[in-house]
Amino acid sequence: MDPIDYFKNILEVKRYSRNTIKNYASMIGKFRDFSEIPLKDRSERAIQDFVFHCVKTEHCSFSTQKQLIGALRLFYREVYKREIEISYLYPDRKQKFLPTVLSPEEVKGVLSNIKNLKHRCIIMTLYGAGLRVGEVCNLAIGDIDSKRMFIHVREGKGLKDRMVPLPAKLLDELRKYWIAYKPSDFLFPGQQGGAYSSKSVQVILKRASQKAGIRKNVTPHCLRHSYATHLLEQGTDIRVIQQLLGHNSIKTTQLYLHISKAEYAKIKSPLDHFVD
């Protein structure tokens, strides 16, 4: 069996999330294409060179670098029963970027520039429920509870299930979508069957934001950040937001305190106290 397929099978048995399996397999596939030497024969130096390439040439993010190293270590441990010591390649410092957040008007502009009903429903679900893109792509029809007005998010990050409120406006659009498309398994199936592609969602969002004249870097996760920030600005308790987002730690959710206009609006700059 192909070693990457074998790796995927192991991760499935160990109950890793579909997203993690997909990402890890993609990273190992990229590593395989980096050299003609068979995967089982590559030295730690060859692995190190690949990580250097990803960091220096492709400028991968801190989080991607950490995930890459984790994927490589796990692959060699599980497939070839070999421990590779590359923990020294983990970044020493963590980047601290404030997330990109759209205003409600900008979100409205994005949605108004998506004419395809299916595409609009996907983006509305991202923002309206604050879901991760993988969570939206993996939604099943039965996960929409229209009677209780909840969306059941199954096996989110950390393989945790959670319930999030189903917006009435989203339900109206989903009903139109169901009549037009008649999905049978996944709520948003891909063209070739199976789950919808995360990359396709990114393309939809990028095109719509460009048409709306938004110059920010609008990604699916940007809509999740916007959802959380807008809830906070509406007065929603931060611990409720933590539960809705599926965060393990309140510290992760507290990031939104730094970008909420609600508190900053109370602050007056000393400049405003100057008298002409």
Q: State the pLDDT at residue 97.
A: 66
Q: State the pLDDT at residue 51.
A: 92
| Cα dihedral 147, 151, 155, 159 sign | negative
Q: State the pLDDT at residue 235.
A: 86
Q: 160-173 pLDDT, tens per residue? A: 789 999 999 999 99
Active site residue 59: no
Tally Cβ neighbours within 10 Å of residue 51.
18
Active-site position among 42, 73, 119, 224: 224
Active site residue 221: yes
Active-site position among 157, 162, 206, 207: 157
Q: State the pLDDT at residue 89.
A: 81
Active site residue 256: yes
In the predicted model, residues of the chain with pLDDT beneath 50 are: none
Q: pTM of whole model > 0.85?
A: no
Active site residue 73: no
Show me where the domains of the chain are located. Answer: 3-89, 104-263
Active site residue 32: no
Active site residue 224: yes
Q: State the pLDDT at residue 183.
A: 93
Which amino acid, one-letter code, is at 67?
Q
Ramachandran angles phi, psi of 165, nearest 5°? -60, 140
CATH code, 104-263: 1.10.443.10
User: In this structure, are residues 25 and 6 in contact, taking their beta carbons and an 8 Å threshold?
Assistant: no
**Would you tell me the crossing angle of helices 220-233 and 104-112 to the nearest 10 degrees?**
140
* CA–CA separation, 1 and 122 (whole Å): 36
Assess whether the region 3-89 and the region 104-263 belong to the same CATH fold: no
Active-site position among 42, 120, 132, 225: 132
Q: Give the position of tokens 């990031």.
A: 255
**CA 202 distance to own-chain centroid:** 10
What does 137-149 look like in DSSP terms, one character per residue? Answer: HT-BGGGEETTTT
Q: State the pLDDT at residue 258.
A: 64
Active-site position among 42, 73, 120, 247: 247
* CA–CA separation, 50 and 27 (whole Å): 11
Give the chain's end-to-end CA distance (angstroms, integer).
79
Q: State the pLDDT at residue 136.
A: 95
Tell me which architecture the domain covering 3-89 has in CATH. Orthogonal Bundle (1.10)
